[in-house]
Homo-oligomer: A and B are copies of this chain.
Amino acid sequence: MQHKLLLTSLFLGSALLSYGQDDKLDMTMIQKIRTEGLEHSQVMETAFYLTDVNGPRLQGPGFIKAANWAKTKLTSWGIQNSRLEAWGEWGQGWGVEHSYLAMTAPYYKTIIAVPRAWSGSTNKLQSADILYISSTDTTALESYRSKLKNKVILLDQSFKGMPSFKADADRFTDEELTKMANETPPAQRAGNDTTFRSRIMAMRTQNAFNQKMRKLAKQEGAIGMLNTTQNSKDGTLFVSGDYANAAIGATPDDLADLSIAVEDYMTLCRLMKAGIPVKLELDVKTKFYKDDTKGYNVLAEIPGTDPKLKDEVVMLGAHLDSWHAATGATDNAAGSSVMMEAMRILNTIGAKPKRTIRIALWSGEEQGLHGSKNYVTNHLVDKATNKLTKEGENIAAYFNVDNGTGKIRGIYLQGNLAAGPIFQQWLKPFNDLGATTITPANTGGTDHQSFDRVGLPGFQFIQDKIEYNTRTHHTNMDTYDHLQPDDLKQAATVVASFVYNAAMRDQKIPRKAVAAQVAR
């Protein structure tokens, strides 16, 4: 069911197509971008090094290793000023050095388990009984205090196993894209999402309970705690971590915090409920890194060539950091590889952009968009006046990719309606590759928001979902094999063209009619 990329050339009567009053698309350059991006792609080789070779890119050493590789790779392609730039203090790095969990009674079974990020250690192979906690009432928790020593904590859950009668992977249908194109701009929408609010409230209650339990568990000498999620299935685990533990000065503790397969979790719950004696054994060794507590972004440029415009900057970015249960292939080696590839394409075809083109590979995105937020704060906003700096004013546009491995189907305007007609024209040469849709809507959860919130034109592309929500996003299955090569080639080609157009356009991309308040 995968759409096949059309590798045929675009034969158009004129090399300069004029769509609007100031947008003359250089079709010769766009054809060169297509040929380089679709027929001579290196995007999968880049992705291989960022995933299989580098390993997880959790904020800390895993990220730093990948960042240095990316810096060197960009330089090797001829991209200029490739560098790591510190954005401020972050916290302790962390990694797994050994991880093993099994049930040893009523019979032996290895359990699919991943320590949550910044989990502590058991320090040795430990045998343990389970303390089964059926209440999520923080007051009732106190009654378990005397029972915690040397136990592994298992919270009662009653997730129902559900076979997938719906495919894990999908692409946007024409109907869905039309619906997105016709969405009400965000400024005109009611802001009262009670479902979202009540979900956030439930999450906060659960987190408060977990924090309290964790504290009690540590005080009383528990060995570990297990958790799982309802959407975990078939060996796919959703795993993130408690980054409060990354705080500078925090003491690594002797409590292993493990995400396990939902099937194993439910087996343990059923056995405990039925009163069947259960024994576990576990051996978890994690390491905290305190030698460099700063956060870094990777930056590099293709310098602008127009004396009047070269100080203006078109930025393209993606976060390079990842969670740690796999190698962050779709979140976000995919976006990072696409952005690096877009730079490679432009450089290889000898693009001489009027404006400077700057790639940013962010870090700390998973813990709160730290890399991009701090870049904006450090460079683009004046702290004293809370207004854009000269450097900030010079940002022509920011483009982001961080929605997995799917090809580009269009772009989110984030309510910036004036950009719509421009992007509609820019998408035309890629309509045949499935990129067609302009939606006025917002999308959130990633680094274009750091620009958008200070009134700069920051955009994220619409991508086919593939298995993002079902199998890869923050899971132990976010690996190279879940990447779709043809989709990534298409994405890099579309991005390269957008960035080039933005760098050549007479004007910067318009900013929102009512500029957002510059915020910190």
- Interface residues, chain A, with chain B CB atoms under 8 Å away: 1-2, 48, 52-56, 62, 95-100, 102, 106-110, 112-114, 160-161, 163-170, 234-237, 261-263, 266-267, 270-271, 274, 276, 326-327, 466-467, 471, 476-477, 479-484
Contact = CB atoms under 8 A, between A and B. Distances in A.
Contacts of A263: 326, 477, 479-482
A169 B161 contact: no
B55 A109 contact: yes
A270 B100 CA distance: 25
A107 B54 contact: yes
Nearest to A51: B267
Contacts of A467: 163-164
A480 B267 contact: yes
A60 to B, nearest CB: 13
A95 B1 CA distance: 41
A12 to B, nearest CB: 33
B62 A107 contact: yes
Contacts of A471: 163, 234
B108 A96 contact: yes
B262 A481 contact: yes
B102 A99 contact: yes
Copies in the complex: 2
A182 to B, nearest CB: 26
Contact of A163 (B56, B164, B482): B482
A480 B273 CA distance: 15
Given A167-B165, A481-B263, A476 B235 contact: yes
20 contacts: A53-B106, A54-B107, A55-B107, A56-B109, A95-B108, A100-B110, A112-B235, A163-B467, A164-B164, A164-B168, A164-B169, A164-B467, A165-B170, A168-B234, A234-B234, A235-B261, A262-B481, A263-B482, A267-B327, A270-B480
Contacts of A482: 161, 163, 263
Contact of A52 (B54, B110, B267, B326): B267
Nearest to A65: B107
A267 B478 CA distance: 12
Contacts of A107: 54-56, 62
B166 A274 contact: no
B97 A100 contact: no
A55 B106 contact: yes
A263, A266, A271, A471 pick with most chain B CB within 10 angstroms: A263
Contact of A53 (B109, B274, B327): B274
Contacts of A169: 163-165
Nearest to A261: B235
In the A-B complex, the 7 residue pairs with the smallest Cβ-Cβ separation, listed nearest first, are A235-B235, A161-B481, A55-B107, A163-B169, A1-B165, A164-B168, A263-B479
A462 to B, nearest CB: 18
A52, A102, A467 pick with most chain B CB within 10 angstroms: A52
Given A235-B237, A261-B235, A48 B270 contact: yes
A53 B271 contact: yes
B484 A163 contact: yes
A111 to B, nearest CB: 10
A327 B108 CA distance: 11
Nearest to A62: B107
A479 B54 contact: no
Contacts of A237: 235
A56 B236 CA distance: 21
A351 to B, nearest CB: 30
A53, A95, A476, A481 pick with most chain B CB within 10 angstroms: A481
Contact of A274 (B48, B234, B266): B48
Contacts of A267: 52, 327, 479-481
Contacts of A271: 52-53
B53 A483 contact: no
A97 B108 contact: yes
Nearest to A262: B481
Contacts of A266: 480-481
Contacts of A112: 112, 235
Contacts of A261: 235
Given A55-B108, A161-B482, 10 more contacts: A48-B270, A54-B106, A56-B109, A62-B107, A95-B108, A99-B102, A161-B480, A161-B483, A164-B164, A266-B480
Nearest to A61: B107
A117 B267 CA distance: 22
Given A161-B482, A484-B163, A235 B270 contact: no
B108 A235 contact: no
Contacts of A95: 108
Contact of A164 (B167, B274, B327): B167
